[in-house]
Amino acid sequence: MPVVNILKTRIKSVFPNKNIEKILVKLPFIGLDIEGIDKEKIRVEYNPNRPDFSSDTGIFRSLKGLLNEKVGIPIFKYSSNKSYQITIDPKINQIRPIILFFVAKNNKVNNFILNQLISMQEDLHNGIARGRKKAAIGLHDLNAIKFPLSYNTRARNESFIPLDQTRSFKFKEILSDLEVGKKYSSLLKDFNHYPTIADRNNQILSFPPIINSSTTKINDKSNNLLIEITGTNLETCKSILAILAYYLYEEGYEIVSGIVNDNKSTFSSLKLLKDNAISVDTNIIKSYLGLNLSIKEIIEILNRCRIDVSITNNKKVKCLVPPYRNDIINSIDIVEEVAIGYGIDNIKPTIPSFLISSGRRNEYFKKFDEIKETLIGLGFLEMVNFTMLDRNISTIFNFEDKELLEKIKVNESKSKEHEFLRTNILSSLVNNLSYNVHEEYPQKLFEIGKTFSFKNKIVEQWNLGVVIASNNSNYTEAKSIAESIFKINFGKHILTKRNDNNNLFLKGRCADILYESKTIGFIGEVTPDLITKFNLHVPLSAFELNLSSLSKIGC
C-alpha cells in the first residue's frame, strides 16, 4: 500500500485553529491508516483506489470538507494559451496514442513540492497507471523548452542525454543498459520506432514511458513547469491530469491548459475534465445505511465530501463529482460517500427487530472445507482469485471459441484487468505462478472457486483447480492427487479417458475425468507453448473438477 508523509508544520499551516490530535482522529474515517508518528511527520497509508490521496494536499482537501471548512466541489481555475501547443504525428497512434499536458506557472519549486511531485509520480505509476502501461507522467522545467512541441517516433539508433546521465544514449541502449529502461522495456518490445516528445528546436524532451531528458530536469530554481501525460488509456490519463492539475493549483500555481493537435481535431487538455454526474434515489441511501436522513441532510453531508448536489424529481439527488475522484462510479459509491460524510463513528449499531440465529454451515461448503484440508495436508497452497480476467489471459484459455469470448465479456467493465468471466480455474492458477517465478519449486497450488459457461445463458458453477509446477511434474502425479481427493473425501473411484482435443495439454498426456460415465473434469500436462506465454520455465501438470456436477450425481 502506498504511503504519504504529512508534515506536522503543514497541518498547522492548513488548519491553524485545529488541534493535530483532532485531525488524526479523522484520518481513519476517510480510509487512511496511520503507519507511524514522529516529531516532524505522520506517515499515512492510503488505498490505491483514492489516487487523489497521493499528496498531503489531496488529503487536506478531503479533511477540509469533513471539518466544514470548505464544502462542495473544490474551486479549480485555469486559462488557455495558444502558445502551448503540441502536434501528434499519426505514426504514434499504433504505439502510445494519447498525450495530454498543462503548464504550471509563477511559483517557485521548493524541495518539498519537488519531492511530493516525484512521490505522486511514482505512486500513480504503480497504481492506476498499471506500471506505466496505461499512462506515464513527465515532469519538466518549462523554461528549458521552446514551443510548439511534437509527439512523434524516432529510430532505435537516435540518441539524447537521459535524466541524471552525463552522455548521450541511443534509444536501444537506454532499454538495454539503464535500470529504468530494463524495467519498462517490455512496454515497447513490439516496436522498432519509439515515442518521443521534442520541442521547436528538435530537442528531445522525453522518451515516454521510459525516461525524460536531462535538459528539462526540474531544480530548486525552476518556477514554471510542464506536466505531460502519455498513455494508452484515455480515462486513466484524464484522472492523472486532474489529480496533478488540482494539486498544483492548490499549491499556488497558475494553471494553463495545453493545446493538442492531432490529425482529426484540436482540443484543450484540461477541457476534457468534466464533473461526473450521478443521480441517486435518496431511498437507496436510507435503506443501505439504515439512516432516516432528510434530503437537506443528504445534500449537506455530500457537500462535506466535496460533492455538489442538486434535487431532481422523484426524491432523487443529482451529484456532481470532481474529475479527480475516479473511484466514484455509480450510486453505491455515493452511498459510501454519505456514510463517510455522516461519520462512520456516528452510525450506531442496533439490534434487529426480528429473530436471528447463529446459522449453520451449508453441507455443500462443508465438503469444500474437507477437500481443502486434504489438499493442504498433501502440501498444496490455497489461492483465492477474482472470477474475472483480462483479455489476454481469457483469450489464451479460450482462443478456439471467439464466440464464447464475446458472451463472457463484462459490459462496461471499469477495469481492463477484470473484463472477462473465467471459464476455468487453471487460468487463474497459471497466472499466479507467473507472479512467483522467483520462489522455490516445486510450487503446488489449488483453488475452489466459481467458473462460468454459456448454455443459452451464463451458467456459474463451483470448480476445484489444482496445478503442480516442478521439474518432475507429470500426468501420473496429477492423477494420483485427483484419486486421493476422491478416495478421502467421497470414498469413490474415478476413471480417466484419453482426450487429445484439449489444446491446453500435451497430446497423449491429457484425459477427461469420469465418474459414473459422466465427464466431471480434465487432467493433463500443460503444453510448453502455454507455459512460455506466462514466462514459466518448469513443467506443469494440472487437473480441474466440476464440484457442482458432483453434487448433482450424488457425491
The CATH number assigned to the domain holding 312 equals 3.30.56.10
In a domain, 503, yes or no: yes
Residues facing residue 155 across a β-bridge: 193
Domain boundary (312, 346, 380) is at 346
The CATH number assigned to the domain holding 510 equals 3.30.930.10
pLDDT in tens, the chain (555 residues): 788 999 999 999 999 988 888 888 889 888 899 988 988 899 999 988 899 999 999 999 999 999 999 999 999 999 999 999 999 999 998 899 999 999 999 888 888 999 999 999 999 998 899 899 999 999 999 999 999 999 999 998 899 999 989 899 999 999 999 999 999 998 998 888 999 999 999 999 999 999 999 999 998 788 999 999 999 999 999 999 999 999 999 999 999 999 999 878 899 999 999 999 999 999 999 989 988 899 999 999 999 999 999 988 777 899 999 999 999 999 999 999 999 999 888 888 877 777 777 777 777 888 899 999 999 999 999 999 999 988 888 888 887 777 777 788 887 676 777 888 999 999 999 999 998 988 899 999 999 999 998 878 888 999 999 999 999 999 999 999 999 998 999 888 889 999 988 889 999 999 999 988 889 999 999 999 999 999 998 999 999 999 988 766 555
Report whether 361 contacts 432 (CB < 8 A).
Answer: no
In a domain, 352, yes or no: no
Three cell numbers written together for 262: 492531432
Q: What pTM was computed for the model?
A: 0.72
- The pLDDT of residue 457 is 84
Helix (H) or strand (E) run with residue 376 in it:
helix 363-377
Same domain, 492 and 533: yes
- The pLDDT of residue 554 is 54
Same domain, 58 and 84: no
- The pLDDT of residue 550 is 78
Which domain, by its residues, includes 483?
A: 363-552
In a domain, 277, yes or no: no
Edge-to-edge strand ranges of the sheet holding 41-46: 3-7, 41-46, 32-37
Determine the Cα–Cα distance for residues 212 and 136; give it in Å rounded to an integer. Answer: 11
> Residue type for 263, please?
N
Report whether 169 contacts 161 (CB < 8 A).
Answer: yes
Structurally, how many domains does the chain consist of?
4
Same domain, 19 and 44: yes
Three cell numbers written together for 177: 543498459
Which SS3 state, helix, strand or coil, does residue 34 take? strand
Q: Exposed e or buried b for every residue in 101-111, given b needs 16+ CB within 10 A?
A: bbbbbebebee
Same domain, 264 and 316: no
In a domain, 351, yes or no: no
Cβ neighbours of residue 49 closer than 8 Å, sequence gap 6 or more: 327
Same domain, 253 and 331: no
Cβ neighbours of residue 401 closer than 8 Å, sequence gap 6 or more: none
Same domain, 301 and 388: no
Same domain, 540 and 399: yes
Determine the Cα–Cα distance for residues 297 and 295; give it in Å rounded to an integer. Answer: 5
Which SS3 state, helix, strand or coil, does residue 521 take? strand
Using left for φ > 0, alpha for ψ between -120 and 50, and beta otherwise, residue 175 falls in: alpha
Which SS3 state, helix, strand or coil, does residue 132 take? coil
Cβ neighbours of residue 29 closer than 8 Å, sequence gap 6 or more: 66, 340, 343, 344, 345
Domain boundary (272, 298, 322) is at 272
In a domain, 44, yes or no: yes
In a domain, 356, yes or no: no
The CATH number assigned to the domain holding 191 equals 3.50.40.10
Following DSSP, what letter does each residue of 197-224 receive, concatenated?
Answer: EE-TT--EEEETTTEEBGGG---TT---
Determine the Cα–Cα distance for residues 231 and 134; give it in Å rounded to an integer. Answer: 5
Same domain, 85 and 194: yes
Determine the Cα–Cα distance for residues 95 and 395; give it in Å rounded to an integer. Answer: 21
In a domain, 328, yes or no: yes
In the chain, how long is the greatest CA-to-CA distance? 79
Same domain, 14 and 106: no
In a domain, 283, yes or no: no
Same domain, 115 and 22: no
Same domain, 230 and 311: no
Report whether 265 contacts 135 (CB < 8 A).
Answer: no
Angle among Cα 487, 490, 494 to the nearest 5 degrees reads 60
Following DSSP, what letter does each residue of 69-95 receive, concatenated?
Answer: SS-SSPP---EEEEEEEEEE-GGGGGT
Domain boundary (227, 246, 272) is at 272
Same domain, 131 and 245: yes
